[in-house]
């Protein structure tokens, strides 16, 4: 598989972006990578070794290895504001040149691009990973519920609802002064999960005979329909209005919550298709539990499609984040991102602020789209 991928340009594009994101601190910044001298060898960037004075600045009187670019994304060079690329600018030596120019505040564009790659990749990968897990689980479960036809007695439902309500009331709702709201939230969430599993598994045996079917599939379809009726960017805008300080973590969580319906839709469709196949039917008749059939048989078979959707969604999530930054709403001011550079370039009419980040974004999206297309392996069906 790897041998095949080496000959594809999109593989190289995607891995280049991943490499830049991973190696961002090694590529640009002030902290030396390696210092060697009388005190021994140290790696200040990773906090290894006894090197003390040079943690933020260059090492003195020692042999050292510095990152390729002398600037960090946040460093402000007041001497050179809005320097176009190629011009020597007002710097001491070639090492401190701004190869791709600077923005209106004097921040280096090349460094900004490198750290912007890291931000984009983190948001893209994290949000898609979360959305994939949530959406695929829900979609497959809902589709398979056509076989299992989940039912619950009224007692079970009442118990589950009261339990969740009480857990919400005593842990999640903020009735008192607590500093550790995250801890309470975690405990509350786990307790809810545990209580629901207890309600629908252990209590199953001694509840009454009168049961009502739970339309899991119908609920999911309704949920997807509602989500699809409002544009994602609008919803994201509205949600960021609530968050006072959106960080890249909360932003990826938000994007994941808005995009998981896509995975639910595809995995549901794939599972429904697989359930028509004879192997799933026979597995079901053999009496294998749902979790095994879904995990060991249906998931591996629908993985090519889901991977394709996931790769598409990574590009989509990155695009969503940069649109948000471009509109000036997303990440905090000090966080450098491609979208913000573009917005500044548009305002100031500086071509280097528009061309470089935009081209990187374009390259990344093209690479991801191409590899998603390959993963889907459907040359003649609609795929754009």
**Site residues (CB under 8 A) for another protein?**
165-166, 169, 174-177, 222, 225-226, 228-234, 237-242, 244, 319, 322-323, 326-327, 329, 339, 342, 345-346, 349-351, 354-355, 358, 361-362, 365-366, 369-370, 380-384
- Report yes or no: 30 and 57 within 8 Å, Cβ to Cβ: yes
Cβ 16 to another protein shortest distance, Å: 16
3-state secondary structure of 57: coil
Identify which of residues 60 and 162 has a Cβ nearer to another protein in the complex. 162
Identify which of residues 158 and 226 has a Cβ nearer to another protein in the complex. 226
Q: Give the other-Cβ count within 10 Å of 146's Cβ.
A: 12
Identify which of residues 43 and 237 has a Cβ nearer to another protein in the complex. 237
3-state secondary structure of 102: strand
| 71: region left, alpha or beta (phi > 0 left; psi from -120 to 50 alpha) | beta
Please report the beta strands in the chain, taking only residues with DSSP state E, as ranges in sequence order.
34-36, 63-65, 151-153, 211-213
Cα separation, 131 vs 180, whole angstroms = 26
Identify which of residues 89 and 232 has a Cβ nearer to another protein in the complex. 232
Cβ 22 to another protein shortest distance, Å: 23
Cβ 83 to another protein shortest distance, Å: 16
Cβ 11 to another protein shortest distance, Å: 16
Cβ 188 to another protein shortest distance, Å: 15
Give the chain's end-to-end CA distance (angstroms, integer): 24
Cβ 243 to another protein shortest distance, Å: 9
Cβ 378 to another protein shortest distance, Å: 10
Identify which of residues 38 and 244 has a Cβ nearer to another protein in the complex. 244
- Report yes or no: 85 and 98 within 8 Å, Cβ to Cβ: yes
- Report yes or no: 67 and 99 within 8 Å, Cβ to Cβ: no
Cα separation, 127 vs 110, whole angstroms = 26
3-state secondary structure of 356: helix
Determine how β-strand 63-65 pairs with β-strand 151-153: unpaired
Identify which of residues 84 and 150 has a Cβ nearer to another protein in the complex. 84
Identify which of residues 154 and 166 has a Cβ nearer to another protein in the complex. 166
Cα separation, 258 vs 229, whole angstroms = 12
């Amino acid at each position: 598989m790897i041998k095949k991928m080496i000959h594809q340009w999109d593989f190289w594009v995607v891995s280049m972006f991943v490499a830049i994101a991973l190696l961002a601190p090694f590529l640009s910044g002030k902290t030396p990578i390696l210092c060697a001298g009388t005190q021994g060898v140290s790696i200040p960037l990773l906090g290894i070794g006894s090197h003390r004075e040079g943690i933020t600045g260059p090492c003195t009187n020692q042999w050292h290895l510095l990152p390729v670019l002398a600037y960090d994304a946040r460093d402000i060079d007041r001497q050179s504001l809005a320097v176009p690329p190629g011009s020597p600018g007002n710097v001491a030596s070639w090492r401190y040149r701004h190869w791709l120019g600077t923005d209106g505040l004097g921040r280096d564009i090349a460094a900004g691009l490198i750290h912007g790659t890291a931000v984009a990749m983190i948001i893209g990968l994290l949000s898609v990973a979360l959305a994939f897990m949530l959406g695929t689980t829900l979609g497959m479960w809902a589709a398979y519920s056509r076989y299992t036809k989940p039912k619950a007695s009224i007692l079970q439902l009442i118990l589950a609802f009261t339990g969740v309500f009480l857990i919400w009331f005593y842990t999640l709702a903020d009735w008192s002064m607590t500093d550790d709201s995250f801890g309470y939230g975690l405990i509350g969430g786990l307790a809810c999960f545990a209580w629901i599993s207890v309600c629908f598994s252990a209590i199953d045996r001694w509840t009454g005979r009168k049961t009502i079917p739970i339309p899991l599939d119908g609920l999911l379809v309704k949920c997807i329909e509602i989500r699809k009726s409002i544009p994602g960017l609008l919803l994201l805008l509205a949600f960021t209005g609530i968050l006072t300080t959106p960080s890249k973590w909360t932003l990826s969580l938000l994007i994941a919550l808005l995009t998981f319906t896509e995975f639910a839709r595809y995995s549901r469709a794939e599972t429904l298709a697989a359930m028509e196949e004879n192997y799933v039917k026979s597995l079901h008749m053999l009496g294998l539990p749902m979790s095994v059939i879904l995990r060991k048989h249906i998931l591996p078979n629908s993985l090519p499609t889901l991977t394709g959707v996931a790769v598409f969604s990574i590009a989509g999530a990155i695009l969503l984040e940069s649109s948000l930054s471009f509109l000036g709403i997303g990440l905090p001011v000090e966080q450098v991102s491609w979208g913000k550079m573009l917005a500044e370039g548009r305002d100031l009419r500086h071509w280097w602020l528009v061309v470089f980040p935009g081209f990187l974004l374009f390259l990344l999206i093209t690479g991801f789209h191409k590899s998603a297309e390959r993963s889907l392996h459907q040359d003649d069906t609609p795929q754009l």
